[in-house]
């Protein structure tokens, strides 16, 4: 386990520059649209008192994204929403059928394929060779074409972007080097809907600590931005959790700017296997995340087992936030550094259910 306290973390007023990326106005507009979609309902916020007692904290809440629109993860909030927005901005010839394109480890592609079916579009999804086959099958079941690509997730992003430009497809990516990329901003404002739901689901006030996972960082940034705006100086302490083998956001924090990390990025938390953080997300996380935590796969396996005992069926990646909490509860130094004690009200994000079978 590695952790890094962010020396740049701020509780200063939310800036106009940050608002260009994530704003309550944009996030509330996304939530309002979701409320019109068939099958929408707030993802449950589950109380886990037995685990809270064992971990020596006042309470533990688990935001369960496993049933979101029947797609199994929070990604539906981003990819499906951004796809519609991107389609509305595109110039499509009369009679032509637009094609949506994206790269994915699995969940984002499923969300974009879901959007394509809703919107009457074609869909091409690029998945790297190490991505789970079950995820690819779930995407194909929605009518999308899956193209398996060599290398890792970052390689599939590069190829999908290049071929989308060459073929006139509408790219719906969840990461970008452009810190004001319109589609990535839409993805993240869609994600922010889950944080807005939590504000309504927690009448007693905000949690003191939030553990949220990061692949490229989009969800973590959306949560950080929403709580920074809603709760201002009273916002929770926000801890970003990643696999040790793919801790690109932690490396950004230590470097002070986005970096590419090497290695095979091989982790059982496959939906978090990314080697470069999104510049769009980093614009928020650089100021609104308080700590970055990289955990070994064994913590995710243990977290998944704990959730199963609580009758929650989570994927390994979906258990990453709880894995982060479990990694530090018995470590006095990081626990003290994060002021995690018996008064703490902790929120963890359960980002996905079990893998498709």
- CATH number for the domain including 305? 3.40.50.1100
- Hey, which bits of 105-218 come out as E strands? 122-128, 145-149, 170-171, 209-213
Residues 167 and 217 in one domain: no
The answer as to whether 177 is a domain residue is no
Residue ending a domain, among 115, 137, 171, is 171
Contacts of 7 (CB under 8 A, 6+ apart): none
Q: Is the pLDDT of residue 357 over 60?
A: no
Q: What is the pLDDT of residue 193?
A: 97
Write the pLDDT tens digit of every residue in 43-102.
999 999 999 999 999 999 999 999 999 999 999 999 999 999 999 999 877 778 999 999
Which structure tokens are listed for 341?
A: 């004690």
Task: Give how far the C-alpha of residue 251 lies from the chain's centroid of Cα atoms, to the nearest Å.
Answer: 18
**E strand or H helix at 346:** strand 345-350
Write the pLDDT tens digit of every residue in 68-83.
999 999 999 999 999 9
Decide if 75 is catalytic.
yes
CA 154/CA 128 separation, integer angstroms? 9
Residues 26 and 108 in one domain: no
The answer as to whether 298 is a domain residue is yes
Domain extent at residue 327: 2-73+184-350
Number of domains comprising the chain: 2
Decide if 200 is catalytic.
no
Residues 196 and 330 in one domain: yes
Residue ending a domain, among 137, 171, 205, is 171
Residue ending a domain, among 118, 148, 171, is 171
> One of 26, 63, 64, 75 is an active-site residue; which one?
75
Q: What is the pLDDT of residue 205?
A: 82
Residues 277 and 194 in one domain: yes
> One of 63, 64, 105, 283 is an active-site residue; which one?
105
Taking the whole predicted model, whether its pTM rises above 0.85 is answered as yes
The answer as to whether 356 is a domain residue is no
**pLDDT > 90: what percent of the chain?**
92
Residues 166 and 148 in one domain: yes
Q: What is the pLDDT of residue 354?
A: 87
Q: What is the pLDDT of residue 75?
A: 94
Adjacent-strand bridge partners of 64: 350
Write the pLDDT tens digit of every residue in 228-265.
999 999 999 999 999 999 999 999 999 998 888 977 89
Q: What is the pLDDT of residue 226?
A: 98
The answer as to whether 346 is a domain residue is yes
Residues 340 and 282 in one domain: yes
């Amino acid at each position: 386990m590695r952790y890094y306290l962010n020396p740049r973390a701020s509780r200063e007023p939310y800036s106009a520059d940050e608002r260009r990326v994530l704003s309550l106005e944009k996030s509330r507009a996304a939530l309002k649209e979701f409320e019109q979609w068939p099958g929408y309902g707030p993802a449950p916020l589950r109380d886990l008192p037995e685990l809270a007692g064992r971990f020596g904290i006042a309470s533990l809440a688990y935001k369960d994204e496993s049933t979101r629109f029947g797609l199994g993860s929070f990604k539906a909030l981003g990819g499906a929403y951004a796809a519609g927005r991107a389609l509305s901005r595109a110039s499509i010839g009369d009679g032509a059928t637009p094609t949506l394109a994206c790269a994915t480890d699995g969940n984002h592609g499923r969300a974009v394929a879901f959007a394509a079916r809703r919107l009457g579009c074609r869909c091409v999804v690029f998945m790297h060779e190490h991505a789970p086959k079950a995820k690819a099958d779930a995407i194909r079941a929605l009518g999308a074409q899956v193209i398996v690509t060599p290398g890792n997730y970052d390689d599939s992003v590069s190829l999908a972007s290049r071929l989308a430009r060459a073929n006139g497809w509408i790219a719906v990516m969840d990461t970008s080097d452009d810190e004001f990329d319109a589609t990535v901003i839409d993805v993240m404002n869609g994600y922010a809907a889950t944080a807005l739901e939590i504000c309504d689901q927690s009448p007693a006030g905000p949690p003191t600590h939030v553990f949220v996972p990061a692949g490229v960082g989009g969800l973590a940034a959306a949560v950080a931005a929403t709580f920074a705006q809603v709760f201002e100086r009273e916002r929770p302490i926000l801890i970003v959790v990643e696999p040790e083998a793919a801790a690109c956001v932690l490396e950004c924090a230590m470097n002070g700017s986005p970096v590419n990390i090497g290695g095979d990025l091989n982790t059982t938390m496959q939906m978090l296997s990314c080697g470069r953080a999104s510049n769009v997300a980093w614009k928020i996380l650089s100021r609104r995340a308080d700590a970055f935590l990289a955990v070994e796969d064994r913590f995710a396996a243990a977290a998944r087992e704990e959730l199963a005992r609580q009758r929650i069926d989570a994927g390994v990646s979906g258990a990453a936030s709880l894995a982060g909490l479990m990694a530090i509860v018995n470590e006095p130094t990081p626990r003290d550094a994060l002021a995690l004690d018996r008064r703490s009200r902790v929120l963890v994000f359960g980002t996905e259910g079990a893998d498709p079978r």
